[in-house]
Amino acid sequence: MTDKNALIQPDRGQKAVALHLIGKDGLEQFIKGLSVPQRAALEAQKFAGAAGSHAILPDGDGWFVAAGVADPAKLSTWCLARLAEVLPAGTYRRASGEPGKAALGWIAGQYSFDRYLTDPSEEGPRILLTGEVKAIDAVIAEAEAIELVRDLVNTPAEDMGPGQLESEAESLAKAFRAEVKITRGEMLEREYPMVHAVGRAAGRAHAPRLIELEWGDPKHPRIAVVGKGVCFDSGGLDIKPGAGMLLMKKDMGGAAHALALARLIMGARLPVRLHLVIPAVENAISGNSFRPGDVLRSRAGITVEIGNTDAEGRLILGDALTRASEKEPELVIDFATLTGAARVAVGPDLPALFAREDATAQAILDAGLGVDDPCWRLPLYDGYRDYLKSDIADINNAGSSGFAGASTAALFMDRFVAKGLDWAHFDTFAWRPASKPGRPKGGDALGLRAAWYMLQQRYTGERG
């Protein structure tokens, strides 16, 4: 894990390479201030001010950087991330102004997952200086939360099973003096029957469990954060094809988001009483796998006919959301890599957001846009509830229509959230299929910062 404290540092006038950020409208004026050799270097590198491009120019015995951005006066989170990936190791500062939001992208752009490499890169860090010293800790905390999601999702399932998720929760509890409770074995079967049913086919080393963490002053408003922890999803007896299993190590991405959000909440000492709930399982295949056509009784007492064993995430979340509801929180947020239908609808970059309350949905959407972590709301449409009808049980986990898959999954989960509770659900991908500046291919946090900034606004009145 990269030392984030080394990448963003207070500007105390130390020696640093200057970053001249230029929009296309300002390129002509910038060129007028250059010497003839500098203009020649700029032309040789074919720099035209395009966003994401840069050129290195001589300056006496040293050098400086000209970098294209869309608007130098309004930097985005990711506009300097490419520089952090490609510039030589060293220390840098803006020639004019502060990095602002772009400081996070500068850190995130230097992420690499090298746990399994025998010869990882030893290239030194690119350090960015800032005069906004009070903002450094918050930026580092967000970068560490993003890296936590990436590391957990990128780790193969053999090394990231239910036990490892439990260890992550225990590490957080130790760091922030929180309380952890783990339910497993016969007690899990009795109290969380759907979590047990989905996970019971896994080997002993990856046995299912329900992970809970509680933190904060009981006098503060109670919130629940729930994350889907399917550490590997074979599809169960409705087995996935080989190509469909290749990314299934990421099916615990919801749990990774929930752990990262809990870390942000506790680290900032947000004035809430936090209840983190993670059902952790491996959806494996063996002689005791749950079957299509089985009827499961949930913690809530609702009976569920299994239409498809590959619709397992909503089952474990059903029990987890029931548990969260029992504490009567004023807000429940869950994260889950739940449906392919959401990816068809909004693609890999946009988490699909479902919410009971319009005000909560809008607050999350606005927060996401403000911090370059956009989400897209999809409907909890009552008219689709009929798609989940069962002839022999209270509800079917998969439905039979073939339509509105993301919405019907959300409606299934809605049955397990107590009536009247403010609830928001992220159907997130937790994965980048292609690299973008600051966001390498692989596991990633999508919707995390939107939720975090919404919570800050809601419980402190500040925008982070």
Cβ proximity of 211 and 171 under 8 Å: no
Cβ proximity of 346 and 228 under 8 Å: no
pLDDT for 402 equals 86
- Return per-residue pLDDT of the chain as tens, 464 residues: 456 668 999 999 999 999 999 998 999 999 999 999 999 999 999 999 999 999 999 999 999 999 999 999 999 999 999 999 999 999 999 999 999 999 999 999 999 999 999 988 878 899 999 999 999 999 999 999 999 999 999 999 999 999 999 999 999 999 999 999 999 999 999 999 999 999 999 999 999 999 999 999 999 999 999 999 999 999 999 999 999 999 999 999 999 999 999 999 999 999 999 999 999 999 999 999 999 999 999 999 999 999 999 999 999 999 999 999 999 999 999 999 999 999 999 999 999 999 999 999 999 999 999 999 999 999 999 999 999 999 999 999 997 788 999 999 999 999 999 999 999 999 999 999 999 999 999 999 999 999 999 999 999 987 65
Q: How far is CA 372 from the centre of its chain?
A: 13
User: Does this model's pTM top 0.85?
Assistant: yes
Catalytic residue among 150, 184, 263, 314: 314
- Residue located via tokens 């709930």: 277
Q: At what angle do helices 136-154 and 448-460 cross, to 10 degrees?
A: 140
pLDDT for 122 equals 76
Cβ proximity of 217 and 271 under 8 Å: yes
Cβ neighbours of residue 123 closer than 8 Å, sequence gap 6 or more: 89
Helix (H) or strand (E) holding 316: helix 313-326
Nearest Cα to Cα of residue 125 among 151, 79, 91, 82: 91
CA angle 294, 296, 300 (to 5 degrees): 160
240 is catalytic: yes
pLDDT for 126 equals 96
Catalytic residue among 240, 297, 377, 436: 240
449 is catalytic: no
Three-state SS at 60? coil
Cβ neighbours of residue 281 closer than 8 Å, sequence gap 6 or more: 162, 195, 198, 199, 202, 208, 229, 230, 231, 312, 316
| Sign of the dihedral through C-alpha 136, 459, 170, 233 | negative
pLDDT for 123 equals 81
User: How does 137-159 read in b/e, with b if 16+ C-beta sit within 10 Å?
Assistant: ebbbbbbbbbbbbbbbbbbebee
CA dist 200 and 208 (Å) reads: 7
